[in-house]
Amino acid sequence: MSGTEKSLDRPVRIRRMTKADIHGVWEVEKLCFPDPWSREAFEAELSGLNPTVYFVAEAENGTICGYMGVWHILDEGHITNVAVRPDCRRLGIGRQLVEAVLADGHQKGIYNFTLEVRVSNEAARALYRELGFEPAGVRKRYYSDGEDALIMWLTEKLPVL
């Protein structure tokens, strides 16, 4: 845990997202993003048509505090979304979600992951750097408001058998 995070005084359980979680995930999405994905987009992600994996961070009271999604494309993971409710931030939940996605990918033989992050999102960029992601380029005007995205990659060595 970095020195800027609070201790996790509200434990969460990291688990795979189910269709029953869509409403809670969509609520997080609306709180976190100016141009949120629709409920239908999350339903499509869980439809099984694409090789996607989503995790949620669920509080003891059942509230969805955050979520994260990744597409498995051949031997790479493309992280699509990471979001934590504003009132649950700086508790280590984002780190737990990323670590769960990476561990799940490793079990499937995926050791290379990529993502885009807003250039202005210094907290997320710092977390990704701490977890081994490195900047690899910029997507100009990537977001609907015109902000650039920093492309980051985590390239891990395959385990020696």
Residue 136 structure tokens? 């690899």
Is 142 part of the annotated catalytic residue set?
Answer: no
pTM to 2 decimal places: 0.87
3-state secondary structure of 84: strand
| Phi, psi at 49, each rounded to 5° | -75, -30
Is 122 part of the annotated catalytic residue set?
Answer: no
Give the span between the Cα atoms of 6 and 76, in whole angstroms. 32
Amino acid (1-letter code) at residue 101: V
| Annotated catalytic residue, options 40, 60, 116, 143 | 116
CATH topology of domain 12-155: Aminopeptidase (3.40.630)
106 in Cβ contact with 117 (< 8 Å): no
Per-residue pLDDT of the chain (161 residues; tens, 9 = 90+): 343 344 445 579 999 999 999 999 999 999 999 889 999 999 999 987 778 999 999 999 999 999 999 999 988 999 999 999 999 999 999 999 999 999 999 999 999 999 999 999 999 999 999 999 999 999 999 999 999 999 999 998 665 55
| Annotated catalytic residue, options 29, 54, 58, 128 | 128
Q: Where are the domains of the chain?
A: 12-155
Instruction: Sheet with 64-73: list strands edge to edge.
Output: 12-16, 52-59, 64-73, 76-84, 112-118, 149-155, 134-139
